[in-house]
Structure formats: structure tokens, C-alpha cells
Amino acid sequence: MEGHTIPSFKGGTIPISTEDIDSFSLLDIVWSNKFENENIDPDDAKKKEADFLKGAPPQWMNLYWSEKEATPFVTRNGYNDLIQLVNKNKRKLWSVTDMHLLYQPGSGGSTLAMQVLWKFRKELRCARVTDSALDVTELSKQVVKLFLVGDDQDQNTVLLLLDIREKMNEDQPFKRIFQDNLIKEINRQNIKVNIPVVIILNCIIMYFTRSDEFSLEANLSEDEEKRLSEKHNEVTEKHEGHEKFRGFNGMLRNFSVPHDRSVLKCVETFTPSPQFFMIPTPNGDKIQVKKKEIYTKSCLDILWANMYEDVPLDRLSAKDLECEFLKGGQPQWIYFYCLEHEGSLFVKRDLYDSLIQQINVQQKSQWNVTTINLFHHPGSGGSTLAMRVLWDLRKQFRCAKLKYKTSDIVIIKDDIFRLFKEGGEKNNNTVLLLLDVGEEGKKISHLLHKELQKRSAGDNIPMLIIMNVESKTTIPKSTTVKLKMELLPKEKTLFKEHKAVIKEKHGEDSEKFYGYNIMHGNFRKDFVKNLIKNDLKCYAKANKTSTNTKLFSFLALLNSYIPGSCLLGNLCQEFFASQQSHEQFEEIMTPFMDLLVIYTAEHCEERFVRIAHPMIADACIQMLLACSMTRGDITHRFLYSIVKVLNKQADFLHICKDILITRQKGEQEDDLFSKLILDIMEEDHQMNSANCISVLQFASKLYYKDAFYPQALARFYYIKLRYYTKAEEFAKCAIQRDPKNSFIRDTLGQVYKNRLRKTVKDKASPNYARRVLEHAVSAAKAFKEESEKAEEEQESDIRNSNVPNTFNIRGIFGYIQVIKILFDALTQHSSQWAEFLRGKTSVTSLGSSFKDQKLKRYNSFLKNLKDEIKEKNHFFQCYLTYSKPSIEKQEPPYFRRDIDECYRRYVIQGEQAARSEQQVLELKQANTFPGLLHLLDQDISKTELEKILRCSVNNADDNQNYILANIILCNKSPTSQFLMPKKELQNIIMRYWQAEKRYRSPEFYLLVLLLFWPEEDELNQGTPNRPNLAESVKYMHQAFERTYKKHLCSRYLVPLFFLGKGENLQRLVHRSKVDQHQMDVLTKGDEKAEIQDLHRVQGEVRDHRVFALRGANQIEVTPHHPASVRGQGYVSFYLGFKIKGPVAYNIRRE
């Protein structure tokens, strides 16, 4: 047998030595000649194929054998998209690029990813990461080494599959840490090539049932051009003046001629209305609306199931309607009816099928309200496409379009609720709502989620699916492919053809290929339900405590809550032995064997067992529940019989944490508990709490050193049961197990804070003020201790794997919330407290409120609160102004709101009339640098900014705030008479630079860069009496490390200003002036993109570093995407300024 080979960049393949092969311990490499020179046993290959079709995970052998036998796998719809993304990334001049495959469990995501690697194995160096518990540094070295194998001309891109469930921690996914390490290793090796070193295909399990996003571009695919050509032939034959159809012809020319529908008057020749309104029911019938006059006044334009039916249609009128639309008029419902009635073609964009697919996916979801966002280029047909989708689904869903923008969400909610409920409880049916109201759509969608998020008891379908359509001038190119448990029409055809091949090859055995057949059957729940035969149900019910039923229930639990998980065959035999059963696996498990799959992994003799498909596992859980085997019972038995009795705590450490601790992440907030705990709570309303507590307590004893289990118990007691004494007990137990972890300490503070909220409501209790203070002090102390630990744990010598690499601000934020609650409680109890808490009066002024002598012990705590709030408010001003959680994620809305409200209570509301300039600034929170920066993010007037500027003159030790106030005002009003000339501002900052230039704040160096960054006419001039900007950048980095690194580590630093095209202060563009579309271009857009008001800076790349060329002085800037910095040469980029230094965005090769 010949040795393994890998592809060379110059063509052909090169051999790889045994020594090199052994060094790639963390990579499963797909050799170019994999299996080609091996003697494969056909029977063994056929068995592996049968195992895969039944539900075993895919193996490289499956791909090789299907190719050899000329029975290739069905490629799901995302396959071609992934191939295109790989080919696109091959041409991208980045050292590391990535793409994402998001897939629902059981939809074939891992298989699809492996198909892509298999296709490229002779062109790229393909490999899969083998383990999730990884040494990231070592993995990076192995990946780069795989790229470097051979001589300089042989070196070739690595296509790397990451199919990893676990994350390194909750804030930094494995991929992000891995990418950073890869770039460091590439730079360390000084690799300078014009091809990517690594293309990462990142596979992520994702549930698309809450929301999803689609983009419709002003660009036609080949299929769309073909369909449009057919429509053009029909239009030419039908309409004499077709050359005036601007809207249609613009699309026909692939959108090269823009048009604007808004300039055309939309005239509907007639608007016939049915005599009675019909709406669909869930089973496909139609029922009549009883009180149709209610809906005529609705804010919803309802698309009735019988819309325009049985209404005589004038052919000339229909022709006129089509003419209006093809000219560029707004689409109307009657247009779609005319098309159907006349048998005319409607050109469906490619996205049509994907939208229908997603709506069907969301209809099966557990969520009551879901959203589909459709972003489209103006004039690309987004509104028409969305309306066509509703038209085609009008007999399946209750379809409606919002008539107009409204801020009264209650009106919309009531109309939706009425439409959903129409016809009585048995006829409730999902409302499909189209929002086509611009940027307001997201806000309305969010509010509807909030108002209607709880599903009524008995409803097993969503109440509302929102399709939010929004026009955007810029839509970033997507690097994500989504694979869902819903087949597209083309996929259905392919599976139908492939099914015949499988049946001919495997005969009757193919009927038991459940993994394959579920996909072939379009993931239908009724098909899965029918797989569980009555005799199996009867057996399970009669043998609930038997060994095989127990093991089957364990497999169902694991495969339902951790799709793709499995149990080792040897462990199953160990379990049988512990139950005094000594037969072989197949014999013991005979009643359940049809639903199980047993397989071996490549290069491994060990057998693995799992249920054939996650959907089958879900159905089995329901079947066991009907047999009085609850999730709580099954979980408890699993923990006892497998984990404890067999002493497998270490083996099941991650699995137990996944099912009992890990919470699903939502768009705004995470779920309160793990999905399993939430389901246990739901399944038995009388015993749910006892079952949850029992399971968590048992797990806590098994993993007696793990702090997460008592933490989960504490959270359950205070959130679900509001039993604060028990919650306190378990929160303290968690702290004892991991005393250095500030995140664990947060739970105790939350317990005390929620106990305080309960106490505050009991206003009639004796000694009310003392009890409120007692609980407030306990909560404040707990949060203070948490924030102290947060500071300590950032020191490297005490870090451990349980502590995320991010600064924990929950303690500081929790403290602010407690102090706000305290203020409201005491001031509502007695108005005298307000002046005291604001530091305006002494304790003696409280009079009767302080008759309780025990209150005096809190005097020192209370009198310092105002100063504490000012200090913490300043911390959060910096924290929230300079950074955010990630480039995609914003801070929760309540965050800044709670902080501002607390500051207002203690500082602002006590100053009804500001007596000094300092008080004016405090009232506007403009007395700090970040406070000033944040002003433009708010709705603040020019007059208010001018007042702030005048007050800033003498209220900053080094005049930094005054300089910034000028820049801020210039962004709002460039011609304001109060602005100081740039030259005078430069003179101010220059005096401080000359006095001390090295040990200043990051804010000082930011002003240096903003004021002294050379303008075009200064590039070739000398720079006497000016700061050295290269030096300033270096000092700025050092200042950031001293001042903010600890608190902002792992957060995304936001740009504060950009360099614009204007002159003087007018060329400094505040971030609020750059809209989200432009930010997307800057951070994700194509290198050819142009931003109208921003200036492209000329620069150069040397040794993986980016420099701005400024005459003789070159200034190093940080690339926004480090992977985009390749080789040597001239570049241009947009320049942004962060609190850490200047940043190069959208780097383009010149």
C-alpha cells in the first residue's frame, strides 16, 4: 500500500512522511488518495453504508464507497453554496478566512460539511478537528504545519472543519480563540504567500425556530434570468407598450437601470370584496368569519382565504393592473389574483422557496412568536416577493399585512389575537404577518415578541410568524449557509430519485433506514410517531423497571437533549452486569433494536450505540411519558445507575452539565434554566419542583466539587419558588466550592436582591425601613465582594478554567440595582429620606424615621451612597461608551436604563436648578469624557451642546473635556459661533504634550490623534512643533493597557470617530453619523466598497503590520481584521479611532 498524499498548490500531490503523519494528532486529515490503494471489503463497506442510512454518524468510508459504487449522496441545498464560499475564500487575500454552516440537529449538517471536504480533498489540504477538549496552541501549530508541508511552491491552503459542540467559555467561542492563535502562529512563522493559509468551515448546531434572516440582492442568478426570459416573452406578446415597463425592464437588465416605485401612482381599477370572509383552520379547512365588520376597521390588511374568488374579472382591467405593476407600481393583492386567473407567469426569486421553507420550520416551533427578517436592495423585488409568499400561503395561514406605522402596539396585538382566535379554540390558527414599514419593523417585531411571547395552555402552534421586510442600500455578503429540517422542492425530487436506488441496493432492509427515511419524508412528525409501534409502547409500559427499558430511556434522554450523543457498547454491557443481566446487547435490547443504531468509528474497534435520529428520541420521550416515565425519573435513574453505580463521573462530566446546567441562548436573554430542567418543570405541574430539586441535588452530590450544581439549585429556589432561605444556603455552598469565581458569587447577590424586592412590597410590616435596609445592605455587600473577586481573578496567577476570560461587571451592576431599589423604597416610605440619601441633610433631619435606634448602624453605609453611585456611573460610562459585548451583539436595553435611573435619583433629581457650571455638566452627565462622547448617541439639541461647551471651559483639569466638547458640537452644528478654531485647540493640547507626553490617559492621546492627524495639504510639509503621532500611538496602547484592558478584555472596542472628507474639525466624524449600513460595509463589506463621507487613507503593509503613509512619518494602525493583512505592498483603508488607538477598516490592495 502506497503512503498518504496531500495536494500541492502547483498541481498534483506530494507524499507525506510517517513522522509528519504522527505529528498531526489533533487532525483527522482527508488524504488526497484516501482509501484508493486499500483493499476494501465490499460487505464491510455495505454494512457501514447501512449503519449510516439507519442513523449512524457519517464516515469518510461512506463518501468513498458511494462514489465508487456510483450512488453518490444526495446533496442538500446548502452544498453548492458552501462550494461557492470555499472557492470565493480561496481567492481572498486573507491569511485566515471562515464560513459557517448552521444546522438543525438531525438535518444532515455534519454529513454536508464532510461532503464539502471530500470534494476538495485533491485540491486543498482538508482536515477535521478530532476533539473538543483541545490545546488551542498545539492545534494552531499542527494546522499551520499542514499548510507548510513541502517546498515553497507546494504549500497549500488548509480547509479545516470545526464541528465542535462545546465552547471554551460562555464569552469566547472556541473558533474566536483558535483564530487568534492561528494568526499569531502564521505571523510567528513569517508566512508570506498570496493564498489563504486556512479556510475554516465552522459547523454549529442552531435552532432556527425563533428567528432567521434572509437577504435579497439586486442581482439575478442564472435560474432567475431563465425564468425572467420566459416572462419577457409572455409580456412582449401580451402588451404592445412593454418597452415602458420600467420596473420589469430594470429587473430584466439585472437591475442595471434603477427605478423607484414610490414616484408612481398605484391605482387599483376595482377592489372587489367577498360577501363573506373565509379563513383557514390548522387542518386545511376554511371557516367563515362571523363579524366581518370588526376586521374592516383593523390596522391589518387581511388576506382572506377566499380573496377575490367568485368575482367576475374584466380582462381589460386585469391587463391594466399588470401594466401598472410592470411599469414599477406597488404590488397589490389583486395583481396576484389576476396572474392566477389569467394563467400568467410570476417570476419567483430564488429566495421564494427558502422563505416558504423557513415559515414551515417556524410553524413547527415551540415559540409563540417568531420572526423572519428579509433585507433587500431597493427595487430588487423584496416587497413583491414577501406579498407573493403570503398570497400563496393564504389558505394555510391567516395572512395579513400591517396597513400603517403605529406606535400603539396594543392595537396590533389585539387585532392579531382576535384573528388567531377566530372560529373558537379548536380552529385557532397561526397568523402570518407582513411588516413592510422600514426600520420601524424591527421595533414593532420586538414589541410583539414581548407582548405575545407566552403560549396559551392547549395551543400547539405558534400564534404569530412575523415577516419583517426592510430595504437596505448595503447588504453584506453572507458567509453562512443554513441547513434546516425542511426540504426544498428540488431536494424532495432528489431524495425521491435516490430512494429508488437505495431500495434496489438494500432491499427490504431500507425500510429500517430511519435516519435516511425521516429526511426523505421531509422530517414529518407523524412519520416519526408511526415508527413507534403499539407493541413497543405496551412492552415499555409493562416493563418500566426492566434493564432494557431503562437503557432505552437513557438513550432517548441523551439523544433528545444532546443530539448526536452516544453510549459506548462496553458501558452498556457494564450496566447490564450491574443489573444482573449477562446476555449480549442485541439479545437484551431486542424490543427496541429497530430504533437503535450500533456502529464503529473509523480506526476504532469500540462499538457505539444511539437512537437513530433526534426526532425519534423526542418521540420516544413522549412515549415514555405516556407510560408514566417522566423526564425527572429517567434523569434520576441515569445519574444513579450509570454515573454513580458505574463510577463514571469523569466520563459524563460534560454530558451532565449540558443537560442540567447549560441554558439556551436567546436573542435578548438566555433561558432561565437548561432545556431539560424547563421540560421537567412543565411535564408534571404538581411534582415538577420536587423533581427538579431532586435531580439537581443528586447531581450536586455526585459532583461534590462542582459549584455549578448548587448554583443552579440556588437559582431555582429564588426564581421559581421564591424560597430565599434555601436559595441563600445553596448559593453559599456554591461559593465554598469555588470561592475565587466571581460569577459564582453573583448568585448570592441575586438571591439577596430578589429578597429585597419582596420585602419592599410588604409596606405594612413593622420596622419597614429597618428590614429594607437590612436586606439592602446584605445584597450590596454580596455584590461588592463579587466585584472585588472580579478584580482579583483577572490576575493570571489565580485564573482557572472555570472563570471566563472576561471582566465580570455583574457585581457593580447588581450594586447599582440594589441602591436604586433602596432609594425608591425609603423615599416612598418617607419623603425625608430623599434629601438625606442625596447628601443634602444629616441623619438628624430624618426625625421620626430614625426613632428605631437600630437604623443608626446604617448611617455610614447610607451617607456614602451618592459618591458610590457617581464612581460606578463613571465606570459604566467608560465601559458602555468604549465597548460592547461583540461586533454583532448590543448591550441589553435595561442595562444603561437602570444605571441612568439610579444616577438620576441620587444626583440629578436633587438639583432642580443648577447653580454652577459643574452642576450643569453633572445634570447632563457631560462632566466626563465618555459622557460627552455619548451625548451624540442621544437626541440632544444644538442649544444644549453649546451650553455644555460654555460650561466646559473651566471645568476640566487639562481641558480635555473642553476640546472634546468642541469636536462634539462641530458634529452637530459645524457653523456654531461658540466653536474654537482648531489651531487654538491644538495649542492647548500641545502645551500638555510638551509638559508630559508618556504617562497620560488614552483619552489624551485620542485627542492628539484627532487634532493633529495631517490633512492632505500637510502630507509633504514639515511638522515642526507637532506631536510625533507614531509615538502617540505607542503611548496610547500603553495607556489603554494600564487603564482599561482589565475591564474591557474580550469585549469589542467600538470606533468613536472616523476620518472624514471635510476640513479641520469637520473631518472628524462621530460614530453616530455612520449608520448601520455603513458600519456593515466597514466591518464586513467588500474591499471595493466606498463610504461617501469617509476618507480613504493610503497605507502600506509590512511584516504583517499596517502603516498609514504620512509623508516621511509612518504611523502604525491596527487592522480591524488581522487576517486581512497579508504579505507586503500598498493598501488603502478607512481610518477609525478607538480608545485603544487608530484602526484600519476595509483594507484594500492598491
State pLDDT tens for residues 831-845.
888 888 888 877 666
719 within 8 A of 663, measured Cβ to Cβ: no
The C-alpha atoms of residue 333 and residue 85 are separated, in whole angstroms, by: 37
Q: Do β-strands 567-568 and 125-129 pair in parallel, antiparallel, or remain unpaired?
A: unpaired
Other Cβ atoms less than 10 A from the Cβ of 86: the count is: 21
The C-alpha atoms of residue 960 and residue 973 are separated, in whole angstroms, by: 20
Cell numbers found for residue 997: 507626553
Q: What percent of the chain has pLDDT over 90?
A: 40
H or E element, residue 814 = helix 810-829
Give the pLDDT of residue 132.
54
pLDDT at 1017 over 60: yes
Higher pLDDT, 102 or 698: 698
The C-alpha atoms of residue 926 and residue 33 are separated, in whole angstroms, by: 67
What's the CA dihedral at 904, 910, 915, 919 to 10 degrees?
-30
Average pLDDT rounded to a whole number, residues 692-720: 96
Residues paired with residue 608 on neighbouring β-strands, in sequence order: 568, 599
In sequence order, the 6+-apart residues with CB closer than 8 A to the CB of 210 are: 365, 367, 370, 371, 666, 667
57 within 8 A of 599, measured Cβ to Cβ: yes
For the four alpha carbons of 1035, 1039, 1041 and 1045, in that order, the dihedral sign comes to negative
964 within 8 A of 915, measured Cβ to Cβ: no
766 within 8 A of 854, measured Cβ to Cβ: no
Give the pLDDT of residue 816.
97
Give the pLDDT of residue 474.
61
Distances (CA, A) of 52 to 49, 61, 131, 487: 5, 10, 21, 20
The C-alpha atoms of residue 1119 and residue 1145 are separated, in whole angstroms, by: 7
Q: What are the residue ranges spanned by the domains of the chain? A: 5-207, 215-483, 1014-1022+1030-1150
Give the pLDDT of residue 1085.
67
* pLDDT band at 257; cut points 50, 70, 90: very low
Lowest-confidence pick of 323-327, 575-579, 1111-1115: 323-327
Alpha helix (H) residue ranges in 328-439: 333-342, 351-363, 382-392, 409-421
Other Cβ atoms less than 10 A from the Cβ of 978: the count is: 14
State pLDDT tens for residues 655-701.
999 999 998 876 556 788 999 999 998 886 656 688 999 999 999 99
Q: Which residue has the cell 458567509?
A: 479
Give the pLDDT of residue 457.
47
Give the pLDDT of residue 830.
82
Lowest-confidence pick of 383-392, 456-465, 490-499: 456-465
Higher pLDDT, 777 or 500: 777
Average pLDDT rounded to a whole number, residues 269-293: 75
In sequence order, the 6+-apart residues with CB closer than 8 A to the CB of 497 are: none
Residues paired with residue 467 on neighbouring β-strands, in sequence order: 372, 434
The C-alpha atoms of residue 1112 and residue 1131 are separated, in whole angstroms, by: 17
Cell numbers found for residue 961: 473635556
The C-alpha atoms of residue 1099 and residue 1148 are separated, in whole angstroms, by: 10
Amino acid sitting at position 862 = L
* pLDDT band at 914; cut points 50, 70, 90: low
State pLDDT tens for residues 725-759.
999 999 999 999 999 999 999 999 999 999 999 99
Closest alpha carbon to 1070 in 923, 898, 889, 932: 932
Angle at 100 between CA 467 and CA 138, to 5 degrees: 155
State pLDDT tens for residues 851-860.
556 677 888 8
Q: Do β-strands 1141-1149 and 1129-1138 pair in parallel, antiparallel, or remain unpaired?
A: antiparallel
Give the pLDDT of residue 860.
83
Give the pLDDT of residue 695.
96
Give the pLDDT of residue 208.
62
Q: Which long-range contacts (CB under 8 A, 24 or more apart) does 476-479 make?
A: 476/1080, 476/1081, 476/1084, 476/1085, 477/1084, 477/1085, 477/1086, 478/215, 479/85, 479/98, 479/99, 479/100
Higher pLDDT, 842 or 817: 817
Phi/psi of residue 959, nearest 5 degrees: 65, 10
pLDDT at 254 over 60: no
* pLDDT band at 954; cut points 50, 70, 90: low
State pLDDT tens for residues 524-540.
888 998 989 888 999 99
pLDDT at 800 over 50: no
The C-alpha atoms of residue 130 and residue 1075 are separated, in whole angstroms, by: 42
* pLDDT band at 1078; cut points 50, 70, 90: confident
Lowest-confidence pick of 684-698, 870-884, 1028-1042: 684-698
* pLDDT band at 710; cut points 50, 70, 90: very high
- The topology (CATH level 3) of 5-207 is Rossmann fold (3.40.50)
194 within 8 A of 1126, measured Cβ to Cβ: yes
Half-sphere exposure of 377 (CA within 13 A, CB side): 17
Q: Which long-range contacts (CB under 8 A, 24 or more apart) does 970-975 make?
A: 970/1065, 970/1066, 970/1068, 971/936, 971/1068, 971/1069, 971/1070, 971/1072, 971/1073, 972/936, 972/940, 972/942, 972/945, 973/942, 973/945, 973/946, 974/1062, 974/1065, 974/1066
1040 within 8 A of 1026, measured Cβ to Cβ: no
417 within 8 A of 453, measured Cβ to Cβ: no
State pLDDT tens for residues 342-392.
666 666 767 788 888 888 888 887 778 888 888 877 666 778 888 889 999
Residues paired with residue 567 on neighbouring β-strands, in sequence order: 609
State pLDDT tens for residues 159-200.
999 887 644 334 445 677 888 889 999 989 988 888 999 999
Neighbour-count burial for 54-63, b at 16+ CB within 10 Å, e otherwise: bbbbbbbbbb
Give the pLDDT of residue 1128.
80
The C-alpha atoms of residue 613 and residue 516 are separated, in whole angstroms, by: 9
The C-alpha atoms of residue 986 and residue 1018 are separated, in whole angstroms, by: 15
Give the pLDDT of residue 1134.
94
Phi/psi of residue 1135, nearest 5 degrees: -110, 125
Q: At 865, is the secondary structure helix, strand, or coil?
A: helix
Q: What radius of gyration, in Å, describes the C-alpha atoms of the chain?
A: 33
Higher pLDDT, 709 or 805: 709
Rounded to the nearest integer, the mean pLDDT of the chain is 84
Q: What percent of the chain has pLDDT over 70?
A: 83
